[in-house]
Amino acid sequence: MLATWLTDRLGLTVPVVCAPMAGVAGGALAAAVSDAGGLGLVGIGREPVEGVQAQFALVANGDRKFGAGLLAWVLADRPELLDITLEAKPSLVSISFGDWQQHVQRVKESGALFATQVGTVAEARYAASSGVDVLVARGGEGGGHGRDLVATLPLLQGVLDAVDVPVLAAGGIGTARGLAAVLAAGAAGAWVGTAFLTCVESLLPPQGREVAFAAEDRDTIYTTVLDAARGAAWPTEFGGRAVRSEFTDTWHGRDDEVRATGAKPETWITWAGQGVGLLHESRPAADVVAGFAAAEQLLRDAASRSR
Ligand SMILES: Cc1cc2nc3c(=O)[nH]c(=O)nc-3n(C[C@H](O)[C@H](O)[C@H](O)COP(=O)(O)O)c2cc1C
């Protein structure tokens, strides 16, 4: 069994966290990942309180370890989302993208670990000095929102050298090979979104699955134009990575025009990272977690080759 700070601290058998993915990672996916030995997180965006509580009801059974991920900029006007999250008694709470610092103490006092995602070494230093329990070094190849300033490997190397808190690696980790690489580098585990996107238990609708399966590694784009078109209130410093479409091919970089003309994507927006090229079919989350566990053998093989 692969043992790290993360597995020891939370009683996991595989050092993999299923990232919070609003609208995709609900209670069923989180429960399936946790039951398979990883840690499943419920992703919370701007949903109504009842919708979030319904997702927690699918995963919180008193015994099972699970986590939750919230958006800091949403909490600024929806603070009740943190209240209902802590009522569900998660073992780990991630708050990212915006003013997350003000919530650190409250989350830790609830008994949960506090995590946040960082996209540069400077952000990692700041987060480590703000009392977070675990940092997520999230490279620009990752799916959904974040920064696209540094790719996962250079970011992870810089962050591991810069801070003393445990670090999880995120962005483009889709198979046991990726997990083995970041564990060998010194990460306490991987924080994985895209690889769980098309799981049987995910909330992604069929049209999103079709887009994901058709996409190759080069078919994603990091852009702010999709939020401009949706009228989403994401701070513009955070773009999102999604599967390219006719809409992004036409409008990427033209956010003001999109706002002025009201241009809208005609097809489903599928947020996904560069690892989308590795997805070919809907699989149970337990299979995906079991696949990641093969990192142990890869690391053993690598060790036996070194002399
Ligand atoms: C569909 C999708 C939705 C996401 N939604 C959120 C979210 O609600 N909150 C959050 O903190 N991160 C969100 N993310 C980012 C993930 O937490 C994580 O950084 C990312 O998935 C890691 O890269 P990977 O997709 O290559 O595994 C989302 C990612 C995806 C793919």
Pocket of ligand 1, beta carbon within 6 A: 19-22, 24, 43, 45, 69, 71, 94, 96, 117, 138, 142-146, 170-173, 191-195, 197, 271-273, 275
CA of 298 from ligand 1 middle (Å) equals 26
Please give the Cα distance from 47 to 192 (Å, whole number): 22
Above 80 in pLDDT, residue 253? yes
The domains of the chain, with CATH numbers, are 5-204+281-305 (3.20.20.70), 206-261 (no CATH)
Counting from 1 in the atom list of ligand 1, the atom nearest the Cα of 194 is 25
Q: Identify which of 16, 21, 136 to mutate to test ligand 1's pocket (most ligand atoms within 8 A of the CB).
A: 21
Structural tokens at position 6 = 């993360």
Above 90 in pLDDT, residue 1? no
Above 80 in pLDDT, residue 132? yes
pLDDT digits (tens, 9 = 90+) for 22-38: 999 999 999 999 999 99
Per-residue model confidence (pLDDT) at position 306: 83
Structural tokens at position 173 = 């980790």
Per-residue model confidence (pLDDT) at position 300: 97
Counting from 1 in the atom list of ligand 1, the atom nearest the Cα of 270 is 1
What confidence tier does 205 reach under pLDDT thresholds 50, 70, 90?
Answer: very high
Average pLDDT over every residue of 96-104: 98
Cβ atoms 13, 7 nearer than 8 A: yes
Average pLDDT over every residue of 82-89: 98
Counting from 1 in the atom list of ligand 1, the atom nearest the Cα of 170 is 22
Structural tokens at position 184 = 């060998």
CA of 305 from ligand 1 middle (Å) equals 35
What confidence tier does 245 reach under pLDDT thresholds 50, 70, 90?
Answer: very high
Please give the Cα distance from 268 to 248 (Å, whole number): 12
Counting from 1 in the atom list of ligand 1, the atom nearest the Cα of 136 is 19
Mean pLDDT of the chain: 97
CA of 270 from ligand 1 middle (Å) equals 12
Q: Which of 233, 214, 197, 221 is nearest to 73 (CA)?
A: 233
Please give the Cα distance from 14 to 221 (Å, whole number): 30
Cβ atoms 227, 234 nearer than 8 A: yes
Please give the Cα distance from 209 to 200 (Å, whole number): 10
Percentage of residues in the chain having pLDDT higher than 90: 98
Please give the Cα distance from 128 to 110 (Å, whole number): 19
Helices (H), the chain: 5-10, 27-35, 49-59, 72-75, 80-87, 104-109, 121-128, 152-162, 176-185, 194-197, 206-214, 225-230, 246-251, 255-261, 285-293, 295-305
Q: Which of 188, 185, 152, 149 is nearest to 170 (CA)?
A: 152
Q: Buried (b) or exposed (e) across 54-74, using 16+ Cβ within 10 A?
A: ebbebbbeeeebbbbbbbbbb
Per-residue model confidence (pLDDT) at position 112: 98
Question: In degrees, to the nearest 5, what angle opens at C-alpha 249 toward C-alphas 246 and 250?
Answer: 85
Q: Which of 145, 130, 143 is nearest to 46 (CA)?
A: 145
CA of 2 from ligand 1 middle (Å) equals 24
Nearest CA to ligand 1 atom 17: 19
Structural tokens at position 79 = 């603070």
Q: How far is CA 133 from CA 37, 63, 67, 202, in A?
A: 21, 22, 14, 27
Above 90 in pLDDT, residue 307? no
